Amino acid sequence: MIIVFDSNTWISELGLRSSAASAVKFYLRQEGAHIGLPEIVRLETSAGLRKHLLNSILNIRTEHRKLLAGFGRLKELVLPGESEVDSVVATVFSSLRADILDIPLSVESSRSALQKCIAKEPPCDKTEEFRDAIIWADCLKLLSNDDVYLVTSDKAFYKDRRYEAGLAPNLAEESTNVGHHLHIFKDLSSLLGSIKKPVDISADTIISQYLSSDPEVLRTDSLKYSATERSKIEVFVTEEPEQLYLKFELGLICSDTSGQGLSNVLLNVVGEGTYDTQSRLPTVRNIWKEELMWLSADRSHPARTRLYAFGAAHLGHKDIAHTVRRQLGNEP
Range scoring the smallest mean pLDDT among 9-18, 107-116, 144-153, 200-209 = 107-116
The pLDDT mean for the chain works out to 85
State how far the alpha carbon of 4 is from the alpha carbons of 35, 137, 153, 214, in Å: 6, 12, 12, 50
Query: β-strands 148-151, 223-237: how paired?
Result: unpaired
Q: What is the pLDDT of residues 184-206, one digit of tens each?
A: 999 998 998 888 888 888 899 99
Please give the pLDDT value at position 99. 86
Least confident range from 24-28, 80-84, 110-114, 300-304: namely 300-304
Highest-confidence segment of 83-97, 120-134, 253-267, 284-298: 83-97
Lowest-confidence range among 163-172, 176-185, 247-256, 300-309?
300-309
**pLDDT band (50, 70, 90) for residue 237:** confident
CATH number, domain 2-195, options 3.40.50.300, 3.40.50.1010, 3.40.50.10440, 3.40.1280.10: 3.40.50.1010
pLDDT in tens, 76-123: 888 999 999 999 999 999 888 788 999 998 888 888 878 888 888 888
Give the mean model confidence (pLDDT) for residues 157-175: 92
Q: Are strands 223-237 and 243-256 parallel, antiparallel or unpaired?
A: antiparallel
Give the per-residue pLDDT at 217: 84
CB 277 within 8 A of CB 29: yes
123 upstream amide cis, omega within 30 of 0:
yes
What is the value of pTM for the model shown? 0.78
- Burial level of 253, CB count in 10 A (0-12/13-18/19+)? middle
Per-residue pLDDT tens digits for 37-56: 999 999 999 999 999 999 99
* C-alpha to C-alpha distance for 132 and 122, rounded to whole angstroms: 9
Break the chain into its structural domains and give their ranges: 2-195, 203-327
Instruction: Please give the pLDDT value at position 309.
Output: 56
Would you state the pLDDT for residue 295?
65
Residue 194: predicted pLDDT = 86
**Is the model's pLDDT at 296 over the cut of 80?**
no
